[in-house]
Structure 1
Amino acid sequence: MNSINRRTFLSHGLAGIGSLAFSRLCAGDSPLAIPHYRPKIKRVIHLCMAGGPSHLESFDYKPELAKLDGKAMPESFTKGQQLAQLQGKALRCMGPQWKFSKHGQSQMEISEIFPHIAKHADDIAVIRSMHTEQINHDPAHTFMNTGSIIPGRPSMGSWVLYGLGSESQNLPGYVVLTSAGGGQGQPISSRQWSSGLLPGHLQGVEFQSAGDPVHYVKNPKGITKASQKDVINAINRLNGIQSTRAEHHDIATRIEQYELAFRMQSAVPELMDTKGESQQTLDLYGCKPGDGSFASNCLLARRLAERGTRFIQLYHRGWDHHGQVKSGTKATAKHVDQGTSALLTDLKQRGMLDETLVIWGGEFGRTPMAQGSGRDHHIKAFSVFLAGGGIKGGTVYGKTDDLGYGVVENPVSVHDLHATMLHLLGLQHEALTFKAQGLDFKLTGVEPCKVIKGILA
């Protein structure tokens, strides 16, 4: 049954099949229902380092840049190139601010500000040849999340839900958590997890990182669960009547949201109840659950993954180091290093890492040239790492030039990263489309892109 016929059937038959059954069908409203081919993973956890972490202080060591510290940046690198705040200014090299050392059997070079992540050198694949199209934070986040510079396009989490649906009936299939600390925290707009052109029930749901994760999750005094369910059923019946008169996707979304919110009243308190977590696990993350920290969000991400949430994004705002890049990168790394490591360890110990893709990285990198004591935005080269199912650990893919300015080997675009993520989920990126406004939209856009086979096991 094609999607048009299915929606027609649902809209005309809603009053007869009941709102609960309808909401179950809505939760799996995708063009595929099953993957294109056998998937390597079930879910994605995207650790978003918002602000643009410096690849030169993290995963891409440049000894030649160290030799040129304080000297004029060779014009051959920058002539005619787009810069952010350094445009038209005298450019001087800034050497790496932290020592790098080799780790694991792979002898992967990692900065000393990431001692915990370094323990996973043989589990991660570092891509040193990422590049992007947008030089300012908000459009760069938009491009990383949606594959487009145009606001209003679906986020990658929504695309994944559209393709595969959610494994959880009682929690959202796409959850977002945020934290901050260590540096300037750029604001993150909620449209970064919007469903855009896709049905509204596929959008990300932001949980609060401290206190109750969802506002008003508990009933007020005098309202019982049974009476609330009666109200929801009555509202959904009215919505169902309306949907028989006109096909309107917002009505289906509204019904699903009422039902999901009702189910979440039981599921969310259970999700947040960490009494069953061992002290060893809590010590591993080094956090107090619910304290609003990145580490606490990492623990919550593992618990969401266990309960079937398909796509989880953790934003940490604090990587925008236009000044004090040395002290700033160390401070921000301290906020995320142990939590990231703990998440990888915890997933691995529970047998979940092989069915999860973890992506760590920001929206762009930082310049090899100094901006006072900091570094400016940089789109020509930056680093991310991946770990989990289908990923060849201990891999370094791609290469930048001697100063870390541009990519010289195996360039990787944002669309390439998206295509690889979908591939691991069992989805063919060219076939995952949605027709709107007379066009077939897709996450990976219209330009040619590729699956990054060099990092796959």
Structure 2
Amino acid sequence: MDKEFLENRFNINRRHFLGKAALGLGSAALGSLLVPDMFSGTSSQAEKLQAGIRHFAPKAKRIIMLVQNGAPSQLESFDYKPLLHKMHGQDLPESVRDGQRLTGMTSGQSKFPLVGSKFAFRQYGQSGTWVSELFPNIAKITDDICVIKSMHTEAINHDPALTFIQTGAQQGNRPSMGAWMSYGLGSENQNLPAFCVLLSRGKGNGQGVYSKLWSNGFLESIHQGVQFSASEDPILYLNNPDGIDMKNRRKMLDHLEALNAQGYEEFGDPEIHAKIKQYEMAYRMQTAVPEVTDLSKEPDHIIKMYGADCLTPGTYASNCLLARKLSESGVRFVQLYHQGWDQHNNLVGEMPQQAKDVDRASAALVQDLKQRGLLDETLIIWGGEFGRTNYCQGKLTDGNYGRDHHPRCYSIWMAGGGVKGGITHGETDEFGYNIVKDPVHVHDLQATILHLMGLDHEKLTYKYLGRRFRLTDVHGHVVNDIIA
């Protein structure tokens, strides 16, 4: 086949061929930058194409989710309802409750006395956002946050409600939001996990948190959240045992990988590849984790911003500062769980302590990211699993009261990552019981979070047991009104 035939038949010449080849090489190079292990041979074809490839341009690169476990009362935080003071002690009208199901803790009550908040509210910022006196530091950043007052959920008890907001389903064995992020986007830092979990405990009545909340579900185990502890070893069993140095560890891992490769050849189980990747990740983390968890090098003005508690491992303040460092180092999804918000009776005594635990550090996290130029690319979400009733649980006394679970409406706030600052979205009725404007379902929130990260919640799917699953199940709409 001669040169003239090629040029006439395929309309190509040497210059054209080399030009096209250069485009192909350039595409391959770009692919390797977007997905560092694209050509490593350690991942499946589908996984390589999935990881790191967004559906559209993202607003945010990373997420820090501040989960207030136990459900803080919206009526003592961000949803000001003066009518409850005027009707204090009067029974909630049946037309407002409209036969809503109750928990076993209040279903036996014959009366539902309305109770106004003991804590004063004021408007702050150019937006005039209403904030309780319990959150003076968050009040100072209202022009940077979006308060959503119209959140609602389907679950009325803690475990299913918390599981629902984390996984999109009330039962277990579903991938958590962070696992979906890891699956959909991969990791920015190959030396740290894509999904990290931090736990803290307040002084109030706590509800348990469980590993199913950061589970990989039916996704590969490499996508599960990595829990950090408050001990000397932030990640248990990460360090080498006595008598084993890094050279010996590397040699052992190489032999183990060879054995696992043989196992994969024989059984074809993709989880074997996941184990190989986990061993390699742990090896790299031995160097990266001590550095990122060392808070001793933080300057005095940062310590002052978060509060002295940030130097005590395991506190909410310490976890907020650690979350900033992890996010700054490229961790896709950092999730904090702060327990103690379940105020069924002693709300007046407990909630101020809980608010004090989180108020300063939550605001500091927003301010810290903003001064570093990272807020625009980091999405922060603050809130619980449902709200609290406008009526008192049990008998109403002048000195104290409690509030039961309320899934019909509650408040959260978001900041950075493409969310409009200085706005309030949604509205509840004057009783603070039902939503009257712009409802936001849990699946809507999940769809919006994925959208801000450049992912279409309807396209981020995984086939399991013959069905294509997604975080939002078959529901969810992006809340475009809060997106900048």
Task: State the TM-score, normalizing by the size of structure 1.
Answer: 0.93
Provide, for residues 223-262 of structure 1, a one-character-per-residue CA deviation record: whole Å limited to 9, x for no partner: 1100011011111110011111222122011101111111
Counterpart of 1:409 in structure 2 is: 437
Aligned: 1:386 with 2:414: yes
Listed as ranges, the matches of 1:404-443 within 5 Å are: 404-443=432-471
Aligned: 1:284 with 2:311: no
Provide, for residues 334-353 of structure 1, a one-character-per-residue CA deviation record: whole Å limited to 9, x for no partner: 00001101110110011110
Q: Give secondary structure in 2 for the equivalent of 1:77.
A: helix
Q: Give secondary structure in 2 for the equivalent of 1:343.
A: helix
Q: Alignment partner for residue 47 of structure 1, among 63, 66, 83?
A: 66
Structure possessing the higher radius of gyration over alpha carbons: 2
Q: Alignment partner for residue 63 of structure 1, among 50, 58, 82?
A: 82
Q: Give secondary structure in 2 for the equivalent of 1:368.
A: coil
Shift of 1:32: 5.1
Q: Alignment partner for residue 340 of structure 2, among 302, 318, 330?
A: 318
- Whether the aligned pair in 1 keeps the contact of 2:310 and 2:321 (CA below 8 Å) is no
- Whether the aligned pair in 1 keeps the contact of 2:310 and 2:319 (CA below 8 Å) is no
- Whether the aligned pair in 1 keeps the contact of 2:62 and 2:333 (CA below 8 Å) is yes
Counterpart of 1:162 in structure 2 is: 183
Aligned: 1:153 with 2:174: yes
Q: Give secondary structure in 2 for the equivalent of 1:109.
A: strand
Aligned: 1:330 with 2:379: no
Q: Alignment partner for residue 187 of structure 1, among 199, 208, 218?
A: 208
Q: Alignment partner for residue 198 of structure 1, among 207, 211, 219?
A: 219
- Whether the aligned pair in 2 keeps the contact of 1:27 and 1:256 (CA below 8 Å) is no
Shift of 1:378: 0.6
Counterpart of 1:38 in structure 2 is: 57
Counterpart of 1:86 in structure 2 is: 106
The letter for the 1-side match of 2:53 is: I
- Taking only the aligned residue pairs, the percentage that are identical comes to 49
Shift of 1:442: 0.5
- Structure 1 residues 435 and 52, CA gap change in structure 2 (3 angstroms): same
Q: Give secondary structure in 2 for the equivalent of 1:127.
A: strand
Provide, for residues 395-445 of structure 1, a one-character-per-residue CA deviation record: whole Å limited to 9, x for no partner: 100011111111111110000000100111011111111111000100111
- Hey, what's the Cα distance between the residues in 2 that align with 1:191 and 1:134? 17
- Whether the aligned pair in 2 keeps the contact of 1:30 and 1:165 (CA below 8 Å) is no
Provide, for residues 359-391 of structure 1, a one-character-per-residue CA deviation record: whole Å limited to 9, x for no partner: 000000100010142000110000010000211
- Whether the aligned pair in 1 keeps the contact of 2:310 and 2:316 (CA below 8 Å) is no
Counterpart of 2:10 in structure 1 is: none
Q: Alignment partner for residue 370 of structure 1, among 392, 401, 417?
A: 392
Q: Give secondary structure in 2 for the equivalent of 1:308.
A: coil
The letter for the 1-side match of 2:413 is: F
Counterpart of 2:92 in structure 1 is: 73
The letter for the 2-side match of 1:150 is: Q
The letter for the 1-side match of 2:436 is: V
Listed as ranges, the matches of 1:256-275 within 5 Å are: 256-275=277-296
Q: Alignment partner for residue 132 of structure 2, among 103, 111, 115?
A: 111
- Hey, what's the Cα distance between the residues in 2 that align with 1:288 and 1:389? 24
- Hey, what's the Cα distance between the residues in 2 that align with 1:237 and 1:92? 68
- Hey, what's the Cα distance between the residues in 2 that align with 1:279 and 1:193? 33
- Structure 1 residues 277 and 25, CA gap change in structure 2 (3 angstroms): farther
- Whether the aligned pair in 2 keeps the contact of 1:29 and 1:162 (CA below 8 Å) is no
Q: Which region of structure 1 is more displaced relative to structure 2, 31-40 or 92-101?
A: 31-40
The letter for the 2-side match of 1:73 is: L
- Structure 1 residues 94 and 131, CA gap change in structure 2 (3 angstroms): same
How many pairs align?
438
Counterpart of 2:483 in structure 1 is: 456
- Whether the aligned pair in 2 keeps the contact of 1:400 and 1:407 (CA below 8 Å) is yes
- Whether the aligned pair in 1 keeps the contact of 2:198 and 2:336 (CA below 8 Å) is yes
Q: Give secondary structure in 1 for the equivalent of 2:253.
A: helix
Shift of 1:446: 1.0
Shift of 1:456: 1.1
Counterpart of 1:6 in structure 2 is: none
Shift of 1:216: 2.9
Q: Give secondary structure in 2 for the equivalent of 1:116.
A: helix
Shift of 1:325: 1.1
| Unmatched segments (≥5 aa) in structure 2 | 1-36, 395-400
- Hey, what's the Cα distance between the residues in 1 that align with 2:98 and 2:126? 40
- Hey, what's the Cα distance between the residues in 2 that align with 1:359 and 1:351? 18
Q: Alignment partner for residue 381 of structure 2, among 351, 359, 378?
A: 359
Q: Alignment partner for residue 118 of structure 2, among 82, 89, 97?
A: 97
Q: Give secondary structure in 1 for the equivalent of 2:358.
A: helix
Task: State the TM-score, normalizing by the size of structure 2.
Answer: 0.88
Shift of 1:326: 1.7
- Hey, what's the Cα distance between the residues in 2 that align with 1:299 and 1:291? 10
- Hey, what's the Cα distance between the residues in 1 that align with 2:229 and 2:45? 25
The letter for the 2-side match of 1:398 is: G
| Unmatched segments (≥5 aa) in structure 1 | 1-17
Q: Give secondary structure in 2 for the equivalent of 1:370.
A: coil
Q: Which region of structure 1 is more displaced relative to structure 2, 148-157 or 54-63?
A: 148-157
- Structure 1 residues 288 and 295, CA gap change in structure 2 (3 angstroms): closer
Counterpart of 1:345 in structure 2 is: 367
- Hey, what's the Cα distance between the residues in 2 that align with 1:103 and 1:427? 34
Q: Give secondary structure in 1 for the equivalent of 2:388.
A: strand
- Structure 1 residues 366 and 29, CA gap change in structure 2 (3 angstroms): farther
